[in-house]
Each structure stands twice: as structure tokens, then as C-alpha cells.
Amino acid sequence: MSISDQVSMFYNAKPHIFEKAKALRNNMTFAELKLWELIRNKQVQGLRFRAQHPIDIFIADFYCHSLKLIIEVDGGIHQSPEQKEYDIGREAEISHWGIKIIRFTNDEIEKEIDGVFNRINKICVDRKLELASSL
């Protein structure tokens, strides 16, 4: 991977963000692990997802660079007003790079994993078409 690929894939993330991402990868939640088992190793449309991926000052739960797509797994903390406000700001920042974010709750993943997987599959198909039409 060239330096320019790294810059574009990580959006100039600093070393401390990479360290934090590594720690998060080593301590994934049950829901994150369950989803990771389904999307890793190119199991969705042959696409590569990366777990706990640095993007500038943020860390995406799962990121597919070719689709500029983030999958976030939201635990209960994401229901608090403060966290909702933070998530909205974070999403606005990240969208400046043309990255789309989709969210699933822990509950959805733990109870409806097949439905979650099917929705991710459909979103990936739609995103491929969306990006192809914007060229």
C-alpha cells in the first residue's frame, strides 16, 4: 500500500488514533464480534471491511474503503442525548469525505442478525450503484 493510499484510506489519522483502534479491535463487544464474523473475509459482495478503522480523529467500527461505507454498532450509550449529539456531529464531519454511515443497535445484531446481514448486503449493492453513477 502506497503512502497516498494510506493517507486517503485513513484520512490523515494520527498515531494515537491507530493505537486506540488497535485496543478497540482487541476488546470488541459481543455484537461487534457477531457482526464481524459475518462481514470479514469478503463475505459481503466480495468487499473488504476493516474492523475499528481510523478515519482522521475518529474510529469506525467497520469500514469498507471501496464503498466509502461505515457500519456502526450502537450500544445503549448511543441513546443518551449527549452521545446522540456527538454522533450527529461526527457523522457530519465524516460525510465531508463522501463516506456513508449506517447504524445497527446491539439488540438488532443480537436478535436479528440475518436481517442485519441482508440489509448490509442490499446497502452495499445500492452503494456500488450510487458510486458508479457519480463517476
Q: At CB < 8 A and 24+ separation, what contacts does 96-100 make? A: 97/11, 97/55, 97/68, 98/68, 99/55, 99/68, 99/69, 99/70, 100/67, 100/68, 100/69, 100/70, 100/127
Structural domain count of the chain: 1
- The pLDDT-based confidence of 134 (bands split at 50, 70, 90) is confident
Q: What is the pLDDT of residue 7?
A: 53
More confident residue, 84 or 15: 15
- State the DSSP H helix or E strand holding residue 3, giving kind and residue range, or none if neither: helix 3-10
Work out the angle between the directed axes of helices 113-133 and 30-39 (0-180°, nearest 10): 60
Cell numbers given for 56: 482522521
Mean per-residue pLDDT, 9-14:
92
Quick one: what percent of the chain has pLDDT higher than 90? 80
Q: What is the pTM assigned to this prediction? A: 0.90
More confident residue, 74 or 3: 74
Average pLDDT, the chain: 91
Q: What is the CATH number of the domain that holds 44?
A: 3.40.960.10
Q: Is residue 47 within 8 Å of 38, Cβ to Cβ?
A: no
- The per-residue pLDDT for range 89-121, each reduced to its tens digit, is 889 999 999 999 999 999 999 999 999 999 999
- The per-residue pLDDT for range 41-68, each reduced to its tens digit, is 999 999 999 999 999 999 999 999 999 9
Q: What is the pLDDT of residue 2?
A: 47
User: Domain residues for 10?
Assistant: 3-133
